[in-house]
Amino acid sequence: MTRKILFVGIVAALLLSMLTTALASTGTPSVPEEVSRQDGKTILDIIKERRTLRVLGTALEAAGLSETLSGEGPFTVFAPISAAFQAVPD
């Protein structure tokens, strides 16, 4: 009986190891799209052009960050989509 339990444990560990390896190597992770400053556009201009980021653009302007984001970068902006702002109470 002890051998049977040991055998089942070893098989389970091997299967778990194989499953973990398979899940870890299921392709390359998604990399955010790089947006460079083109055509004289600021990061705020680019945000406001994208329909899904318009609420963020309005919020950045209301916070007085227009001038800051128009300056020399580099900037990293974690941009929640407009739908994410619907969950925020008024």
25-63 per-position pLDDT tens digit: 656 655 556 655 567 778 888 888 888 888 888 888 999
Position 24 pLDDT exceeds 60: yes
Q: Domains of the chain: which residue ranges?
A: 36-83
Rounded CA gap, 42 and 55, in Å?
17
pLDDT at residue number 87: 76
Q: Is the pLDDT of residue 6 over 80?
A: yes
Residue 55, H or E segment: helix 54-62
pLDDT of residue 36: 55
Name the percent of the chain in helix, strand, coil, to the closest 5: 55, 0, 45
Residue 67 has pLDDT above 80, yes or no: yes
What does the alpha-carbon distance between residue 43 and residue 85 come to, in Å, rounded to a whole number?
A: 20
